[in-house]
């Protein structure tokens, strides 16, 4: 009986070792298959993050002309690619990165908080951007003391707000659809934004959470940090469009946006960089990267669009 018990114990231990070996082999095989996928995903993320950060930097510091922007950005990405390739070579893998395309754009800004939202020559009703296909990072911080008092006004009727000379931002597509946001202040001096869609349909009225100056962010869809999704006009627009300010003398503060149209399109309404406010600077709206990752068992190639959030 003792011999039989010992034999059974050895058998159970052997079975346990065999089972552990099978489990380990399965995990290793899974890790080998998924490992390349994980590393490729990490490489793609690292490459787009590096491009995003480089775009931010060159747009802020190397924007005298497009040649400087593209040269500086290209050099930054080549340096990153070279460093990454050396690192990957140690792990018997190879990587390549190429800037496949660039979209030239323009950053439009006003930094003078005490200035009204007029164009360079003083017009209050004017086109901020014409024939644009997209914009990003569009926000304004409005001086509440310059806004029209809309307390007692029907905030659901665009014609009433227009007649009251309330500052408004309008996006009109080439197909004739209009999206408009009226910006005023209520009786408690809160910043109030009333948003309308095509055919004058009231979409939302959003109020800053506390009195005082407030940031109206058209790209993130917020007013004073509170959600106002109706402001993200560009989400539903597929045509090229014109972006207009109306009653710009009924608002003041700062604003900034980047469009995908060239610098030369804005000479009538914006000063050159350093020439006053509002002004324009050269910018790369976005880029497209071509990425390659190779190992002895994997061949990966794709393109990745990079459009910064700032």
Poorest-pLDDT segment among 9-18, 61-70, 98-107, 114-123: 9-18
pLDDT at 250 over 90: yes
What integer pLDDT is reported at residue 11 of this predicted model? 39
- Alpha carbons 105 and 108: distance in angstroms, whole number: 10
What integer pLDDT is reported at residue 90 of this predicted model? 64
- Alpha carbons 110 and 108: distance in angstroms, whole number: 7
- Alpha carbons 178 and 236: distance in angstroms, whole number: 11
Burial of 5 (0-12, 13-18, 19+ CB in 10 A): exposed
pLDDT at 12 over 50: no
Half-sphere exposure of 17 (CA within 13 A, CB side): 6
- Alpha carbons 265 and 20: distance in angstroms, whole number: 69
Cα 187 to chain center, whole Å?
Answer: 34
pLDDT at 30 over 50: no
Mean pLDDT of 91-112: 92
Residue spans of the domains in the chain: they are: 2-104+287-306, 112-276
Percentage with pLDDT > 70 across the chain: 86
pLDDT at 106 over 50: yes
Sign of CA dihedral 269, 270, 272, 276: positive
Reported as a pLDDT band with limits 50, 70 and 90, residue 252 is very high
For 162-210, how does the pLDDT look when each residue is reduced to its tens digit (9 = 90+)? 999 999 999 999 999 999 999 999 988 899 999 999 999 999 999 997 7
- State whether residue 198 is helix, strand or coil: helix
What integer pLDDT is reported at residue 254 of this predicted model? 96
DSSP state of 220: T
Rounded to 5 degrees, φ, ψ at 253 are: 135, -150
The string of DSSP letters for 250-298 reads G-BEEEEEEESS-GGGGTTTSEETTSSSSEEEEEEEEEEEEEEEE-SS-
pLDDT at 22 over 80: no
The string of DSSP letters for 40-92 reads HHHHHHHHHHHHHHHHHHHHHHS-SSHHHHHHHHHHHHHHHHHHHHHHHHHTT
Q: How far is CA 254 from CA 80, 139, 144, 165, in A?
A: 35, 9, 12, 20
- State whether residue 115 is helix, strand or coil: coil
For 269-302, how does the pLDDT look when each residue is reduced to its tens digit (9 = 90+)? 999 987 678 999 999 999 999 999 998 888 899 9
180 in Cβ contact with 158 (< 8 Å): yes
Rounded to two decimals, what is the model's pTM? Answer: 0.83
245 in Cβ contact with 117 (< 8 Å): yes
Reported as a pLDDT band with limits 50, 70 and 90, residue 225 is very high
Reported as a pLDDT band with limits 50, 70 and 90, residue 235 is confident
Tell me what the pLDDT averaged over the chain comes to. 87
């Amino acid at each position: 009986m003792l011999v039989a018990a010992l034999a059974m114990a050895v058998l159970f231990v052997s079975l346990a070792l065999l089972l552990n070996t099978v489990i380990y082999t399965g995990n290793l095989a899974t890790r080998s298959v998924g490992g390349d996928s994980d590393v490729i995903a990490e490489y793609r993320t690292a490459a787009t993050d590096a491009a995003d950060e480089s775009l931010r930097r060159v747009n802020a510091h190397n924007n005298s002309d497009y040649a400087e922007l593209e040269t500086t950005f290209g050099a930054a990405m080549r340096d990153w690619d070279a460093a990454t390739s050396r690192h990957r070579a140690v792990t018997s893998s190879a990587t390549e990165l190429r800037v496949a395309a660039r979209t030239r754009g323009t950053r439009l800004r006003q930094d003078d908080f005490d200035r009204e939202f007029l164009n360079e020559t003083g017009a209050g009703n004017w086109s901020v951007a014409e024939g644009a296909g997209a914009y990003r990072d569009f926000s304004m911080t409005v001086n509440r003391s310059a806004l029209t008092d809309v307390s007692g006004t029907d905030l659901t009727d665009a014609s009433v707000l227009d007649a009251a000379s309330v500052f408004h931002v309008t996006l009109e597509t080439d197909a004739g659809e209009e999206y408009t946001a009226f910006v005023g202040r209520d009786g408690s001096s809160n910043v109030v934004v009333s948003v309308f869609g095509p055919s004058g349909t009231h979409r939302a009225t959003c109020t800053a959470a506390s009195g005082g100056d407030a940031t109206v962010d058209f790209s993130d869809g917020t007013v004073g940090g509170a959600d106002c999704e109706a402001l993200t006009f560009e989400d539903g627009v597929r045509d090229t469009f014109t972006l207009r300010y109306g009653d710009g003398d009924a608002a003041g503060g700062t604003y900034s946006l980047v469009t995908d149209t060239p610098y030369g399109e804005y000479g009538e309404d914006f000063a050159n960089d350093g020439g006053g406010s509002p002004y324009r600077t050269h910018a790369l709206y976005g880029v497209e990267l071509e990425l390659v990752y190779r190992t002895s068992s994997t061949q990966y190639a794709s393109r990745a669009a990079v459009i910064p959030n700032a």
